[in-house]
Amino acid sequence: MTQYWFFYTPLCGTCATASAWLDILEASGDIQVERKNISEYPQTAVDWEITSVPCLMKTVNNIPEARMYAMQDITAMYEFLTR
């Protein structure tokens, strides 16, 4: 099963911008992303080797397959989520 995750911290400005873009993408109804405050999931950060936030991650059967750290724009995020 393929899932998408968005890891952030509440005080991260770039995370807030990326989260707003995700709101727009999810409004289409075709995209679903689970959002997690990485501060509340430190073991996940270690286990899934998350090195910074924001982090958009694709997992397959709960195994990380791809990560996106540089949230350049909403188009890049859409392409990551739909490839």
CATH of residue 77's domain is: 3.40.30.10
| 68-79 per-position pLDDT tens digit | 999 999 999 999
pLDDT at residue 73, rounded to an integer: 95
Residue 13 parent element (H or E): helix 13-26
Mean pLDDT confidence for 6-23: 97
Record the pTM. Answer: 0.94
Residues 22-60 have pLDDT tens digits of 999 999 888 999 999 999 999 999 999 999 999 999 999
Q: How many Cα atoms are found within 13 Å in the side-chain-facing hemisphere of 22? A: 22
Q: Structural domain of residue 64, as residue ranges?
A: 2-82
User: What value does the mean pLDDT of the chain take?
Assistant: 96
CB-CB contact of 78 with 33 (8 Å): no
CA gap 38, 29 in Å, rounded: 25
How many domains, the chain?
1
pLDDT for the residue 28: 87
Q: Is the pLDDT of residue 83 over 90?
A: no
pLDDT (0 to 100) of residue 81 = 96
Element (H, E) at 76: helix 74-82
